Amino acid sequence: MENINLGFDSLAVHAGSIEDALGSAVSPIYQTSTFKFKNADHGARCFSGEEDGFIYTRIGNPTIGELEKAVAALEHGYGGIATGSGMAAVNTVYMAMLGSGKHMIGHHSLYGPSRSVIEGLYTKFGITSSFVDATRVENVINAIRPETSLIFLETPANPSIEITDIVAICEIARQHNIPVCVDNTFCSPYLQNPLDLGADIVIHSMTKFINGHADVVAGMIVTKTKAFYDKLRPVMVIMGCNMDPHQAWLTRRGLKTLGIRIDRAQESSIKVASFLENHPKVEWVKYPGLKSHPQFELAKTQMRGPGAMISFELKGGLESGKIMMNSVKMALLAVSLGGIETLIQHPASMTHSKLSKDAKKAAGITDGLVRLSVGIENVEDIIADLDQALACV
Establish how many alpha carbons lie within 13 A of residue 361's alpha carbon, considering only the half-sphere containing its beta carbon.
3
Is 281 tagged catalytic? no
Environment class of 49 (CB within 10 Å of its CB; exposed 0-12, middle 13-18, buried 19+): exposed
Q: Which of 318, 336, 362, 383 binds ligand LCS (CB under 6 A)?
A: 336
CB 204 within 8 A of CB 220: yes
- SS3 (DSSP) at 339: coil
- Strand 282-286: give its sheet, edge to edge: 282-286, 309-314, 369-373, 343-345, 332-333
The verdict on whether 208 is a catalytic residue reads yes
Q: Are 55 and 33 in contact (CB under 8 A)?
A: no
Q: Which stretch binds ligand LCS (CB under 6 A): 2-10, 69-77, 82-90, 243-251?
A: 82-90
Beta bridge partners of 106: 131, 152
Candidate list 102, 115, 208, 224, residue with the active-site label: 208
Binding segment toward ligand LCS, per CB under 6 A, in 83-91, 101-109, 223-231, 384-392: 83-91
In the complex, minimum distance from the CB of residue 91 to ligand LCS, in angstroms, rounded to a whole number: 9
Quick one: 341 exposed, middle or buried, by C-beta within 10 A (0-12, 13-18, 19+)? middle
Phi, psi angle pair for 309, to nearest 5°:
-115, 130
Residue 31 and residue 48: Cα distance in Å, rounded? 24
Nearer to ligand LCS, 207 or 320 (CB): 207
Q: Is 162 in the site for ligand LCS (CB under 6 A)?
A: no
207 lies in the binding site for ligand LCS (CB under 6 A): yes
Which helix (DSSP H) or strand (DSSP E) does residue 150 occupy? strand 148-154
Residue number, 198 or 219, with CB nearest to ligand LCS: 219
Rg (CA), the chain: 21
Q: Does 274 bind ligand LCS (CB under 6 A)?
A: no
* Cβ proximity to ligand LCS, 185 vs 223, nearer residue: 185
By beta carbon distance, the residue nearest ligand LCS is 86
Q: How far is CA 87 from CA 203, 327, 341, 359, in A?
A: 10, 32, 23, 21
Residue choice 335, 384, 391, 392 for contact with ligand LCS (CB under 6 A): 335
Catalytic residue, candidates 9, 45, 56, 58 = 58
Instruction: Choose, from 30, 94, 111, 190, the residue flagged as catalytic.
Output: 111
Residues 6+ apart with CB under 8 A from 104: 94, 97, 98, 118, 127, 128, 129, 130, 148, 149, 150, 151, 152
Using the rule CB under 6 A, is 183 a contact of ligand LCS?
yes
Q: Is 387 a catalytic residue?
A: no
State the minimum distance, in angstroms, from the CB of residue 42 to ligand LCS.
Answer: 36
Q: Which of 109, 155, 160, 205 binds ligand LCS (CB under 6 A)?
A: 205
Binding ligand LCS (rule: CB under 6 A), the pick from 27, 155, 164, 185 is 185
Tell me the HSE value of 250 on the side-chain side, using a 13 A CA sphere.
Answer: 18
Closest to ligand LCS by CB, 114 vs 268, is 114
Minimum gap (Å) between residue 10 Cβ and ligand LCS: 27
- Residue 183 is among the residues annotated as catalytic for this protein: yes
Q: Which stretch binds ligand LCS (CB under 6 A): 96-104, 118-126, 263-271, 329-337?
A: 329-337
Closest approach of ligand LCS to the CB of residue 244, in Å: 14
* 184 is an interface residue for ligand LCS by CB under 6 A: no
Taking the least distance from each CB to ligand LCS, the nearer of 208 and 264 is 208
Can residue 111 be called a binding residue for ligand LCS (CB under 6 A)? Answer: yes
358, burial (CB in 10 Å: exposed 0-12, middle 13-18, buried 19+): exposed
The span from the first CA to the last CA of the chain, in angstroms, equals: 55
Q: Is 164 a binder of ligand LCS (CB under 6 A)?
A: no
The partner residues of 370 in beta bridges, in order of sequence, read 312
The catalytic site residues sit at 58, 111, 183, 208
Can you give the binding site for ligand LCS, defined by CB under 6 A? 85-87, 111, 114, 154, 158, 183, 185, 205, 207, 217, 219, 335-337
